[in-house]
Amino acid sequence: MDNDHDPATQGGSAQARARRADRALPGSAFAYDPGEPAALPVLARGAPQAPPTDSSGVTIERLRHEEDLARSGDLYLLAPVGYCLLAFDTTVLKVNLVGATMLGVARANPGLHHFRAFVVPAFLPDFDGFFARALNSHTGETCRVRLRTPNDGGVDVTLHGSADGSGQACRLIVERAEGRLAALERSEERLRRIVHCAGEGIWEIDAAAHTTFVNPRMAHILGYSIEDMLARPLISFMDDEGIAMLEHCIAEHTPGLPAPREYRFIGKDGRVVWTSMSTSPILDADGACLGALALVTDITVQKQSTELIWHQANYDTLTGLPNRHMFMDRLRHETRKADRGADFLALLFIDLDHFKEVNDRLGHARGDLVLVEASRRIANCVRSSDTLARQGGDEFTVILSGLDHIGSVERIAHAMIAALALPFELGGEKAFVSASIGIALYPPDARDIDQLVERADRAMYAAKNAGGHQFSYFTPGLQHAAQARQSIADDLRAAIALRQFEIVYQPIVSLQTGAVHKAEALLRWRHPTRGLLGPAEFIPFAESNGLIVEIGDWVFREVAQQVQRWQHSLDPSFQISVNKSPVQFRRDADLYLSWLDYLNELGLPAHSIVIEITEGVLFEGANQVIERLRQFRAMGLQVALDDFGTGYSSLSHLKRFDIDYVKIDQSFVATLENDVGDLALCEAIIVMAHKLGLKVVAEGVETKVQRALLVDAGCDFAQGYVFARPMPAEEFETMAAAGIPRLPH
């Protein structure tokens, strides 16, 4: 036999394995519980180097090891000696393979026999005395008897017996007179044939998780030679994904449950090999871990087949999107999440207008290209956490989850309609389609998911019947509101072009000197039919439609021109504060860099502009906010925290974020005269801000008493009707030149 394939020649001597037991098995898939039985035998590793032996030449250590295993309460199924568990009347309760063969009984049902019946009558007195002593012995008794056997009529054996742990039975080891060495040799030869002819891989590792033995099948599974695998660590046959699976298995390991688990390995040729592995620890006579033994089955073909079937059952073959089956599963999952989180979700049902004409004119092959490109464009309009699916034909669905504002839905719907209206380039040909989108909300429109889908579908047909290239809500009230918002959005777009926006300025007064070197810019819309509108009447619509970015950019540039004029006419250090909404704050840095370029073009220092943000912005992705504030600081812009005290800001937030000014909310200032608590709170805010190197602005100051209290509290600046209302730039310049009288003490 080729030694390279002989398990008796691989992995070193028994002493070497015993030395490896001194090393703890690292956290591996073969983690074990000390009380867990070893279900498989340790493969023979060659003769030990002359330890003490008995008269038959078998090592005393090995005999003790086998007896310890027998006393452990296991059947020791493949032991080379017979092993039985006998009741008080010698009924055979359990028997291993060798014992069953020796007695000629069925191992599955040994209780039909009494062991005493197999003892030759002349030896019964010796057996009875031995058995009585063994039942009361925990150290063991020995006796030589002859047994009647079915094959050779009789065989001389040595019996080793002792009481089991419960004291209710007797453990019995039955050894042929020929000696254990011959039996062991036969057993090892049998195991050697089993190992080398096995259809499953056998993989043994030592306590350091290095390979100490593999059989030919195991090497073949991974495409290596046996020599290439020996001594290599287990993880060297895995990629990162396989190692992650192994670590997950370790974390979930349950002692006493050696059930098969699936592992991913990488073959020598780089291919992925999926296996099912059942593992058992290898223990020495003292219970110390020598390593682990695994039975390995190659399940790659089954795995690939299962994954293919699953993918075909859940994904659209043309676009690669989830199909209706997976879409419904995701919808169930998202509605349950919405119930737990008290959020709502929107279901969008999308149908391509005029797609049939494209198919008829250009053919189905190019029609398929349109569907693939349409799916890509829709995907670019939604978040990665949303679900986009193809229902079939030219119909798509989108689940927008975790929503708290209806404006987000409309913004996405508008983006989809715009994206799908762009021409499709198809190899020299152009195709044009548009989209009709139906929107249904969960839970307002339906709590049953089938009904939700049906209502989104109905809303889509309403959009299509109205001419297409638009979206429609299922709920009439929401649809009317959406139409009203759309009307305002159309008017807002025109307002920018027609210069209907106006900026008024409210002075920010120094409480110590009365000088006016700062102002807050406030936006107004002079609507052609509704008159002059304040920001609360149109800013939410501008945010929901994305127009706030364009409007905000216009405001910034207008303010920059104004501050340039006032730095020449009023004060070289004049500053104007500009409010920015959370939508603007989330925009890419390119927009803010263009502002810096514009300030440089005007020759203005960047600190001429103060960006005002609300407390709510600080909690919409703190890392993004920190990065944006850092960019503002790098540009030289200053930042004011507006409406301080009404949200969730604290000292820790003021330290964490780059803030220059704190603006005390007018709700605290309004009650300064009558509420001692609000006065104390304002004083505390002022002291805290000054300790952090920040300036304080009080908003909504309307009386002289409020002004005086703020002066006494050490507040730096104030704004409000006691000084002046917001006014056009010309009036502001006249007022600022005159200054605000100082408060007499």
* Residue 631 pLDDT greater than 80, yes or no: no
For the residues 260-265, what does the mean pLDDT come to? 83
Please give the pLDDT value at position 637: 83
Strand partners, 346: 400, 441
User: Which pairing describes strands 516-527 and 501-510: parallel, antiparallel, or unpaired?
Assistant: antiparallel
Both tokens of 168, joined, read: 């209710």
Which of 401, 253, 263 lies closest to 327 in space, CA to CA? 401
Q: pLDDT confidence of 11, banded at 50, 70, 90?
A: very low
Token pair 């073009």 is found at 601
Please give the pLDDT value at position 538: 86
Please give the pLDDT value at position 647: 56
How would you label 686-701 residue by residue, b for 16+ Cβ within 10 Å and e otherwise?
A: beebeeeebbbbbbbb
Q: Residue 419: what residue type? A: A
Q: What's the rounded Cα separation, in Å, for the pair 564 and 589?
A: 24
For the residues 740-744, what does the mean pLDDT come to? 59
Q: What percent of the chain has pLDDT over 70?
A: 79
* Torsional sign, CA 364, 365, 366, 369: positive
Least confident of 67-81, 127-141, 339-353, 647-661: 67-81
Per-residue pLDDT of 224-233, as tens digits, reads 998 899 999 9
* Residue 409 pLDDT greater than 50, yes or no: yes
Per-residue pLDDT of 299-340, as tens digits, reads 988 888 888 888 878 888 899 999 998 999 999 999 888 887
Please give the pLDDT value at position 252: 63
Per-residue pLDDT of 684-695, as tens digits, reads 889 988 988 899
User: Domain 315-474, what fold?
Assistant: Alpha-Beta Plaits (3.30.70)
Per-residue pLDDT of 420-437, as tens digits, reads 999 998 888 889 999 999
- Contact present, 403 and 344 (Cβ < 8 Å): yes
For the residues 351-366, what does the mean pLDDT come to? 89
Please give the pLDDT value at position 530: 86
Q: pLDDT confidence of 16, banded at 50, 70, 90?
A: very low
Please give the pLDDT value at position 596: 84
For the residues 274-296, what does the mean pLDDT come to? 85
* Residue 454 pLDDT greater than 80, yes or no: yes
* Residue 51 pLDDT greater than 60, yes or no: no
| Distant-in-sequence, close-in-space partners of 424: CB < 8 Å, separation ≥ 6 | 358, 369, 370, 373, 374, 430, 431, 432, 433
| Distant-in-sequence, close-in-space partners of 167: CB < 8 Å, separation ≥ 6 | none
Least confident of 24-33, 60-69, 123-132: 24-33
Per-residue pLDDT of 538-561, as tens digits, reads 887 787 667 888 888 899 999 999
Q: Residue 160: what residue type? A: H
Please give the pLDDT value at position 36: 38
- Contact present, 665 and 686 (Cβ < 8 Å): no
Q: pLDDT confidence of 44, banded at 50, 70, 90?
A: very low
- Contact present, 583 and 549 (Cβ < 8 Å): yes
| CATH 3.30.450.20 applies to domain 199-304 | yes
Please give the pLDDT value at position 56: 40
* Residue 29 pLDDT greater than 90, yes or no: no
* Residue 75 pLDDT greater than 60, yes or no: no
- Contact present, 222 and 229 (Cβ < 8 Å): yes
Q: pLDDT confidence of 49, banded at 50, 70, 90?
A: very low
Tell me which architecture the domain covering 15-188 has in CATH.
2-Layer Sandwich (3.30)
Range(s) of the chain covered by CATH 3.30.450.20: 15-188, 199-304
**Planar angle of CA 422, 428, 433, nearest 5 degrees:** 30
Least confident of 181-190, 486-495, 595-604, 616-625: 616-625
Least confident of 249-263, 600-614, 664-678: 249-263
For the residues 371-383, what does the mean pLDDT come to? 93
Q: pLDDT confidence of 510, banded at 50, 70, 90?
A: very high
User: What's the chain's Rg over C-alpha atoms?
Assistant: 42
Within 388-526, where are the H helices?
Answer: 406-421, 449-465, 476-498
- Contact present, 273 and 222 (Cβ < 8 Å): yes
Please give the pLDDT value at position 572: 93
Q: What's the rounded Cα separation, in Å, for the pair 734 and 336?
A: 61
pTM (2 d.p.): 0.45
* Residue 732 pLDDT greater than 90, yes or no: yes
Q: Which CATH class is domain 507-738?
A: alpha beta
* Residue 744 pLDDT greater than 70, yes or no: no
Q: What's the rounded Cα separation, in Å, for the pair 463 and 471?
A: 6
Q: pLDDT confidence of 580, banded at 50, 70, 90?
A: confident
For the residues 558-575, what does the mean pLDDT come to? 94
Q: What percent of the chain has pLDDT over 90?
A: 36
- Contact present, 318 and 368 (Cβ < 8 Å): yes
* Residue 91 pLDDT greater than 90, yes or no: yes
Average pLDDT, the chain: 80
Range(s) of the chain covered by CATH 3.20.20.450: 507-738
| Distant-in-sequence, close-in-space partners of 98: CB < 8 Å, separation ≥ 6 | 79, 80, 81, 82, 83, 174, 183
